[in-house]
Homo-oligomer: A and B are copies of this chain.
Amino acid sequence: MTLSFELAATDGTARRGRITTAHGTIETPAFMPVGTAGTVKAMLPRSVAETGAEIVLGNTYHLMLRPGAERVAALGGLHRFMNWPGPILTDSGGFQVMSLKELRKLDPDGVTFKSPIDGASHRLTPERSIEIQNLLDADITMSFDECTSWPVAEDVAAASMRLSMKWAERGRRAFVERPGYGLFGIVQGSTFPDLRVESAKALTGIGFDGYAIGGLAVGEGQETMFCVLDVTIPMLPQDRPRYLMGVGRPADIVGAVKRGIDMFDCVLPTRGGRTAQAFTRRGELNLRNARHRDDPRPIDEHCACPACRDHSRAYLHHLIRSEEILAAMLLTWHNLQYFQDIMRGLRGAIESGSLSAWIAAFEDEQARGDIQPL
């Protein structure tokens, strides 16, 4: 057996599950903090765990360039390297390499690109991507795929998706099964329903331990994204986890969970934490704004994170204006805490069959907006 996935409850199309990996279990729906270069930026690993996160994401592209996959392997794998004993999912490197544009050259076998760090030439193929992720000791390995930008013509999207499906098949053959380790395929096809259906069929024909939906949240808008999910999700097997890559804002996550997605990752909470942005039950705040300058109240009085428990908006505003590292530390922690609070809320609501009511309350609170100035 590779990864096990148990479905504990459903509420409509939403699912409450549990993934068991070589490094522990993940209660789903789950949000995975992004730990690009072997660190969830501005957080100690123990603090990431304190927010309730059970799995983090590592980036193949960044880690292969620095410090190098073989070096991480020699140091005992990514879990030991970054001191995250729990499950780790690594992406395939495809998304970042494709974003290099003029620095990379695509051919049917793979991609050659130059390192922005030192100009050295590197090559990624479906097989090498799998090999790197194995060296990193990822519990969940992602298929190497090509990603199109958005918007894209249908024939370009089709050709790209079909190349990715060939690569998915090569990756599947290259992946060596081990207990508690799994390989996910990635559905592509931009916003074209026929292509998404074709991609999902191709992947389920190959057979993966989980299915990701890629190429979304790239500018197409929430409504279009949900339409793609509504077309794609019914094509995926019930008994395998579903992962919506790179999503998203709280309302995106909630809408996707309602439609049957089990896993998410996104840089918004961590990047926002370094740019004065707080995600809250009552919407998004920019703590750099002068209206917080004299406000003795926390970001959210109901939040259990150290930023909210121990500090005022006035203090956070001061730290941001002073460009203090502690600003990033506290705001990142708050944002990750809030994202995990959402996931806990969603899991509880699905368990108790009250997801609709939970979502109504969530939307109501978000719409209400921030607390009034004193």
Contact = CB atoms under 8 A, between A and B. Distances in A.
Contacts of A76: 296
Interface in A273-299: 274, 293-294, 296
A293 B75 CA distance: 10
A291 to B, nearest CB: 14
A23 to B, nearest CB: 16
A66 B318 contact: yes
Nearest to A317: B67
A71 B292 CA distance: 12
A321 interface: yes
A340 interface: no
A325 B322 contact: no
Contact of A71 (B41, B43, B314): B314
Number of copies: 2
Contacts of A46: 306, 310
B42 A329 contact: yes
B44 A326 contact: yes
B318 A41 contact: no
Nearest to A65: B322
Interface in A315-349: 315, 318-319, 321-322, 324-326, 328-330
A329 B42 CA distance: 8
A226 interface: no
Could you say which interface size class chain A belongs to?
Answer: 35 or more
A75 B325 contact: no
A294 B71 contact: yes
A310 to B, nearest CB: 4
Contacts of A319: 37-39
Contact of A322 (B37, B42, B81): B37
A326 B43 CA distance: 7
A312 B315 CA distance: 34
Contact of A83 (B37, B71, B74, B310): B310
A311 B39 contact: no
A82 interface: yes
Contact of A67 (B41, B310, B318): B318
Contacts of A274: 325
